[in-house]
Chains A and B, each alone.
Chain A
């Protein structure tokens, strides 16, 4: 018992005293790919520990705006990064597009209904459609503009279930709580047994992911290495494995 107590108090006192920690705020759709990349980067840079903070790109920007100590920002769209740049959180010359993605409609694999075109979503058996909240989630904005372009937004809006991140939208579909959802092709590929990709939706603006160092970062040297690593051939192979396209 006393040993347990000592261990517990030791736990309370153990501050992470790691050499260099690099905090990477990245779009939720990058979760699996970045987690797989981490050991490679850490092996190449001994003493460096990557800390990931995944979330909706818009939410990550707000954290950075409020002073979150992120070193790297990777967003799922240009717009969010443009805002970051306009507010001086990242520098234009430190910004690199590193992958591209595709917007897709997914349905639960046990659902039975698979839409052939966006119009089909108007049918009565599509009662609920998950999309990322357009205010913070880039995939929600892409979906909204695709629906607006085809004149369907106002008809489909009452069916919309807003998700905090693209991964939440995917989860809603995988659990059959919604009848369809807008996600990236890369997200759909993570749950091939639970969701079916109905079709891919062409977007007006290509879905390009930018990555940049946060200007306020105190870890510039390591941050630079991480950005270079993500663009490198080795990392691109891993990203391609998850379905991300070349920028």
Chain B
């Protein structure tokens, strides 16, 4: 059972990092896609949405090929910095980040598009800088929608299995997240361990979903 808690804390660490990274990149890209018009915008949106529809094993394979010792990125990191991502928890973070990314940038884009430009115009009339307009007007207005997407991304990152297993392997205490630990316990016939892990995972996911539900956009202020 002790291993279950190690797996849980590792899962939260991986999902936490993935969510933090997605918060930064997802919001930035969601904002750009919502506000700027440029050639190839639809194509970029489609490419960034791919992880949502592609099988995680396909992503895992892509990552293994790119980040592996012979891969273009992995080889470069290894040669110049001695960094290796395969079979590390950082590798698991990358896998989880990419898998959960569409959930953040999609909801961020929708949330930014729903912000009435009149508020921003009003702020500009008051001679507030563009950066301040973003942080004091646009972001607070879009925040609920973004947060709901971020929580979904956290839940998705918590449950990530296929790509993680391929990139990070299954090293107890190092890269063995809850979902991988469940798989292994079932494979080895350790039903007691599996039951416990499944329970922990379910409770974690339900908690996150309930939180996401409370923040979902479209709720009228004042309603519970």
The stretch of B22-30, B47-55, B102-110, B183-191 that contacts the partner chain: B183-191
CA distance A179 to B68 in the complex (A): 13
Q: B70: which A residues are within 8 A, CB to CB?
A: 175-176
Give 11 A-B pairs besides A65-B189, A177-B68 with Cβ atoms closer than 8 angstroms. Answer: A58-B189, A61-B189, A128-B87, A133-B170, A135-B190, A136-B187, A136-B188, A161-B87, A164-B187, A175-B64, A177-B69
Could you say which of A56, A59, A160, A163 has the most chain B C-beta atoms within 10 Å of its C-beta? A59
Chain A residue with the shortest CB-CB distance to B170: A162
Are B68 and A62 closer than 8 Å at their CB atoms? no
Q: Is the beta-carbon distance between B69 and A175 smaller than 8 angstroms? A: yes
Bound-complex Cα distance A174 to B70 (A): 11
Contact B68 A58 (CB under 8 A): no
Q: Least Cβ distance of A89 to chain B in Å?
A: 12
Q: How far is the CB of A70 from chain B (nearest CB, A)?
A: 15
Docked complex Cα distance between A62 and B69 (Å): 34
Of all chain B residues, the one with the shortest Cβ separation from A175 is: B68
- Answer whether residue B169 sits at the interface, using C-beta atoms and an 8 A cutoff: yes
Q: How far is the CA of A135 from the CA of B64 in the complex (A)?
A: 25
Report chain B residues within 8 Å CB of A135: 184, 187-188, 190
Is chain B's interface secondary structure helix, strand, loop, or mixed overall?
loop
Give how many A-B residue pairs fall within 8 Å (CB-CB). 47
| B171 & A161 in contact (Cβ 8 Å cutoff) | yes
Interface range, B side: 10 to 19
Residue B163 at the chain A interface, CB threshold 8 Å: no
For chain A, residues 112 to 149, give those with C-beta under 8 angstroms from any C-beta of chain B. 128, 133, 135-136
Which A residues touch B197, using CB under 8 A?
none
Report the separation of the CA atoms of residues A230 and B59 in the bound assembly, to the nearest whole angstrom. Answer: 38
Q: Return A124 CB to nearest CB of chain B, in Å.
A: 14
Q: From residue B19, how far is it (CB to closest CB) to chain A in Å? A: 27
Looking at the complex, which one of B165, B170, B172, B188 makes contact with A58 (CB distance below 8 Å)? B188
| Chain B, Cβ-Cβ closest to A176 | B69
Query: In the assembly, what is the distance between CA of A68 and CA of B51, in Å?
Result: 32
Q: Is the CB of B187 within 8 A of A161?
A: no
A62 x B186 contact (CB < 8 A): yes
A163 to B184, CA, bound (A): 11
Chain A residue at minimum C-beta to C-beta distance from B183: A164
Chain A residues positioned under 8 Å from B184 (CB to CB): 133, 135-136
* B150: interface (CB < 8 Å): no
B86 on the interface (CB 8 Å rule)? yes
A62 to B172 Cα, complex, angstroms: 21
Residues in chain B near residue A128, CB distance under 8 A: 87
